[in-house]
Each structure stands twice: as structure tokens, then as C-alpha cells.
Structure 1
């Protein structure tokens, strides 16, 4: 059984099977293998596509944002053929806001590779023996810190991620759940094998979303207020999760609060 219940909180039951996550109900090591191709990317980490997108994230997204200009600039700087931009996002359809397939691939690459980078240095033996693992809070803060270089571009990123689209349902939401799953699996957080499995992951996922929304508006030095907010939010959510243990109420509570927060934050932009 995959994360079907968690996905149904976001999608209709009639949604295509490709939208459902394929990980097991309980943690299994094979679900977290670190391959040279990181799904849902369709190319390897040493491919030309990865080279261009990685260069783009490091050098041009902080300046130009998640836009086609960032990709074009990277292609120029790497002295590659301009035609490459037309094939980078060949597997994507244009979004509701007319983001090009290449831009969607850039966003996807950002989400997937940062999730992978978050836990790539944690040895499997530490997980097997539940020894020397970071706390859930440490992983959450580490993931937020990864986006400090693109802090000024987060509002634009959220605007593109939040638009109803095929990309939202097939990439953005599944990646959010995968990130929450990874943060729990690779941390010293106690896991569950009942309804709390779903509620905990939803709680962590929306703690991350709320923290990123806060980060998009944060003007404190080095986003220190965002890190404080994330600490407090995670602490409150995990306590509430314990209070509603083994029930669906916590999942719906977290969903409704987070959706309202997203709407209120985006309406200010």
C-alpha cells in the first residue's frame, strides 16, 4: 500500500495512477536508495541536462529567478548550443501561467536535487541501527538554509508552484510528501505504522510549506526569524500530532490551516 490516503487529501480518487507515490506504508530501505538517476528526473546526475540546470541554480537563479532567462544565460556561459533550451523540459507541459517546459524542469530539478542533497551524507548503517541520526528539526532547518541563496526568488517560485496544473499534481505535491517522508526516515524521530504515519508526514510537510512562506517575506539577517519560526511551528505541530494520534482530525486540521496560510500569504504579493 502506498501513501494513498495522504495523496487523497490533495487529489480526487479518480486521479491517474501516475500521481500516486510508490513508497511503502512503512519505512523500507529500498525506498530510499540513492541512485544515479533521481526520480522523477529522467536523466542522470552526470548528464548534460544536470550540468546546465545545476549551473543555472547556482549562478543565475539567484539573480534572474526561475525564468527561462536564467537557463539561457547558463547555456551561454557553458558555451553550449542555444537549441538545448528546447529539449530540457521535453517531458513537461506548459503551466497555467505559461511557464515554459524548460522552466518547469528547472523547478523540478531544484526540488528533487535539494531533497536528495539533504540526506545524501547519512550512512545507511546509521539508519539501520538508529544511531547518530540528526533530529527532525535539524533536517528541516538544513533544508530551509539550502534556499538562502535564492531567498529573494521564493515568492516567484511559490507563485508558480501554487497554480493549479498538471505540474502541481504530478511533481510539486508528490515532492513535498517525499521531502517530509525523507526528513522523518533519516531523522531520529520515532515512526508509526498506523494512521499517525500519514498525519505525521502531513504535519511535517505543511510545517515546511509554512516556513518557506514565512521565509519569502522574511527580511531578518540570514533569515534568522524563519529558522525561529520553523522551530516553533514544528514543535507545535508535533505536539498537536501526538494529541490527535491515530485520528484523521489532525490531517484535516493541518491541511485547512496551511491552505488558508498559503492563500493569505500569496494575496499579499
Structure 2
């Protein structure tokens, strides 16, 4: 159980859980991103706290996190680390390999949102970084979003399908999740009660795909999800 939940390397990360890179990114995400956001300042604070030079930023990012615009490779790696580590954290305590029942989809969906509570003020920044067209979007952001929806369905008691509904369900669930994060970024209610209510409302419509794309943000993300294979093929040919 522990080996399944906490392997030495959590793919698609390219470094182990005992590596210095993992420790710096984990410390930054847990202690400094809540205050500073997803930027180099959070990483420098983490490096300083661990007694490391800020020059370590130049080697912090893995080679599969190229920079774009004003976002450095180290910040992109921090975003990737957040997406991957929180996705894995979601299933760490599940009763895998036992006779205990798995949670329902709503429980996992809301729990994943709750894992964002400490960084809620910075979710708009996070989504902005993730949604810029380019290699990071197609190689990391969208695949991680798709993997999250796969995990939520696979590790829940949700009935799955082996036809077109399989794809439709995942697009709907991805859209519901991203729109809930967008709502959470602006939510000032106590313990994000309004976000959870919003998320439950969106989740209840996952089986009614015609109702899923009612606002601009949802439509944009649906378009991005639908075009990922085209974008990948264009980048491969380029």
C-alpha cells in the first residue's frame, strides 16, 4: 500500500522523493507558494530555508519544462510538481487492495479541490500559466488534467464505460473541475463553502453533457481539451 502510494519516483516527475529537487519543490509548495504564489520568489525562499544558494534555480527544473514568455523553467517545474503531487496525494489514503468500499466520485472531486485551499488566492495565476498555448500546455497541463479525471473515476465507485461515453465523461469532469478552480480563485466564503456548493452543482451535471458548457471559461477549456491531439501532432511535425 505504501509503495503504491509513495513510489520513489512519482511519474511523470523525473526525480525521486528523496532527491534534493523534490525536497525544495515540496517545501516551496507547502510553505511559500501560499504566500507568494507560483513564482521564483517562493522557490528562493525554499532554497534559503534549506540552506541552499539561489543559484540552484538554474538546475532545479527538469529538461522537460521549457520556459516561455516570462515563466522560468523552475517555475514551470513547480507548477508540474503541484499538479502531479496533489493528484497522487488524492489516492494515498484510499483502501486499495482491501475489502473496504471505494469513495464515490463526488468525495474524490471535492477532496481534490480541498487540496487547493492553501493556494486558492493563486489559482488564477496557476491556471493562466497552464493555459498558455505551447509545449507545457500539451505535454504537462492537459495530460495531467486528463490523468486527474481518469484517477478520480478509476479510484471511485463510479461506473465506467468502454465507448464514446468514456471520452465524454472525462471531458465533462475536466471541465467541471477547472470551472470549480476558477470559482475557488474568487471565493471569499468561510472554508470555501460556496466553492464546494458550486462544484457539487457542476458535478451533478456531468451525466448531462449538454449542460456542461454554459459559460466562456468552460467553453475555452473544452476547446483546449478537444484540440490536444491536434496540437501535439502539429508540434511533432514542426
| TM-score bracket for this pair, using the shorter chain length | 0.7 to 0.9
Partner Cα separation in structure 1 for residue 168 and residue 147 of structure 2: 14
Name the counterpart of 2:11.
Answer: 39
SS of 1:236's partner is coil
Superposed displacement of residue 216, structure 1 = 0.8
Give the 5 Å matches for 1:235-250.
235-238=204-207, 240-241=208-209
Q: Is the 8 A contact 2:173 2:203 kept in 1?
A: yes
2:198 to 229, 253, 256: 229
Give the 5 Å matches for 1:53-202.
53-91=25-63, 92-95=65-68, 97-126=69-98, 131-202=100-171
Q: Is the 8 A contact 1:207 1:237 kept in 2?
A: yes
* Structure 2 gap segments, 5+ residues each: 222-238
Superposed displacement of residue 187, structure 1 = 0.4
Superposed displacement of residue 73, structure 1 = 0.8
Aligned positions, number:
217
Higher relative contact order (CA 8 A, sep 6+): 1
Partner Cα separation in structure 2 for residue 80 and residue 177 of structure 1: 35
Deviations 1:66-112 (A, max 9, x none): 000110111001101332111111412112x3200000000000000
The 1:182–1:44 alpha-carbon spacing in structure 2 relative to 1, beyond 3 Å, is same
* Structure 1 gap segments, 5+ residues each: 1-31, 242-249, 265-269
Partner Cα separation in structure 1 for residue 36 and residue 122 of structure 2: 8
The root-mean-square deviation of aligned C-alpha atoms, in Å, is: 2.0
Partner Cα separation in structure 2 for residue 34 and residue 79 of structure 1: 26
Superposed displacement of residue 124, structure 1 = 2.7
